[in-house]
Amino acid sequence: MGGFRFPVKVKLPSSYLNSRIIRDHFKRQQAAEHEVTIQALKYIARNTALPAKARLEAQLQLATMPNYTRMNAIKDRCVESGHSKGIIKAFRLHRYQFREKALAGELPGVQKGSW
Amino acid sequence: MSFPPQKARLLEVAKLQSKIFNQVYNPNQIRTGHKYLTQKLKGDTVKSYYGPTEFLTMKNLRSMFPTVGFMDPEEEYRLDILRSRKRRGKGAPAKKREAPSADPKKKKK
């Protein structure tokens, strides 16, 4: 049996929730927490001026970091529906949710184009 | 006739330039991992993508002040429908008063 999927307790966000959003939110918290450590390890590992042993050790530590601590495992999701594709980044919304909210006048400054 | 400047002279210029513009002087292009030190930390922005974790919802408010009758349109709507169903005789059946007779499992056999 594996351990707990989310070994660290994390508070839930205020957006729409589904399992994928919860997972991504967890990843974000973990990545933010371990960011400095990972950057420092990367600096040691990639610095050719440092002794080879230290670099190797840093590389090994990087490889054995806990799960869900990598920045590039994070995916922007729609905060209204949890969609992962077709996201309009500036609004953090799926294109359809964006349309619905914009038409309902819930996005300040967004107007339907007409010319 | 003019000659191109010597390499040592050019390096000197590069060194001065990097000093003025606060850059790293690295003439041999050795990989120093400098970019990992100068990269912006994005943890704080990444963390709060899905909104604040401490957020007061109506549900919290209701549990905090149970005596204050907060309006809940969705719940009102549901109760409204239930009432209209009851009027038409389509409501849920009344609960039995007696306890169920012993061992319903035996009957199923």
What is the per-residue pLDDT across B65-78, written as a single tens digit (0 to 9) for each? 888 878 888 889 99
In a domain, B107, yes or no: no
Say whether both A81 and A59 belong to one domain: no
Q: Report the distance separating Cα A40 and Cα B38, nearest Å.
A: 11
The domain tally of chain B equals 1
In a domain, B58, yes or no: no
The domain tally of chain A equals 2
Predicted local confidence at residue A8, as pLDDT:
85
The boundaries of the domain holding residue B15 are 7-39
- Beta carbons of B25 and B18 less than 8 angstroms apart: yes
pLDDT > 70 in chain A, percent: 97
Task: Give the pLDDT mean for A8-21.
Answer: 88
In a domain, B60, yes or no: no
Q: Is the pLDDT of residue B100 over 70?
A: no
In a domain, A42, yes or no: yes
In a domain, B101, yes or no: no
- Beta carbons of A28 and B46 less than 8 angstroms apart: yes
Predicted local confidence at residue A1, as pLDDT:
43
Say whether both A81 and A51 belong to one domain: no
Q: Which of A31, A45, A77 sits opposite B43 (nearest CB)?
A: A31
Say whether both A63 and A97 belong to one domain: no
Say whether both A40 and A83 belong to one domain: no
Q: Report the distance separating Cα B10 and Cα B16, nearest Å.
A: 10
Q: Which of A12, A31, A44 sits opposite B53 (nearest CB)?
A: A12
**Which tokens belong to A35?**
């960011």
Query: Best interface-test mutation with A: which of B47, B57, B59, B60 has the largest number of A CBs within 10 A?
Result: B47
Q: Which of A15, A31, A32 sits opposite B50 (nearest CB)?
A: A15
Task: Give the pLDDT mean for A72-93.
Answer: 94
Say whether both A66 and A91 belong to one domain: no
Antiparallel, parallel or unpaired: β A87-88 and A93-94: antiparallel
Q: Is the pLDDT of residue B1 over 70?
A: no
Q: Minimum mean pLDDT among A16-20, A27-31, B3-7, B101-105: which range? A: B101-105
3-state secondary structure of A31: helix
The boundaries of the domain holding residue A52 are 18-74
In a domain, A87, yes or no: yes
Task: Identify the residue with better confidence: B3 or B50.
Answer: B50
Say whether both A67 and A25 belong to one domain: yes
Q: Report the distance separating Cα A32 and Cα B39, nearest Å.
A: 14
ipTM: 0.81
Looking up residue A44, the CATH number of its domain turns out to be 1.10.287.1480
Say whether both A22 and A38 belong to one domain: yes
pLDDT digits (tens, 9 = 90+) for B19-67: 999 888 888 888 998 999 999 999 999 999 998 888 787 778 888 888 8
**Which tokens belong to A20?**
């994928």
In a domain, A3, yes or no: no
Q: Output the pTM of the full model.
A: 0.72
In a domain, A35, yes or no: yes
pLDDT > 90 in chain A, percent: 79
Predicted local confidence at residue A79, as pLDDT:
93
Predicted local confidence at residue B107, as pLDDT:
56
In a domain, B51, yes or no: no
Nearest CA to CA, how far is B62 from chain A (Å)? 17
CB-based burial, A4-33: b 16+ in 10 Å, e otherwise = eebeeeeeebebeeeeebbbbbbbbbbbbe
In a domain, B84, yes or no: no
Predicted local confidence at residue B103, as pLDDT:
64
Tell me the pLDDT of chain A averaged across its residues.
Answer: 91
- Beta carbons of A24 and A74 less than 8 angstroms apart: yes
In a domain, B35, yes or no: yes
Predicted local confidence at residue B71, as pLDDT:
82
In a domain, A58, yes or no: yes
Say whether both A63 and A94 belong to one domain: no
Nearest CA to CA, how far is B54 from chain A (Å)? 8
In a domain, B22, yes or no: yes
Sequence-distant (≥ 6) Cβ neighbours of residue A89 within 8 angstroms: A76
Say whether both A93 and A66 belong to one domain: no
Q: Kindly identify which residue of chain B lies nearest to residue A17, measuring between CA atoms.
A: B50
Answer whether B3 touches A (CB < 8 Å): no
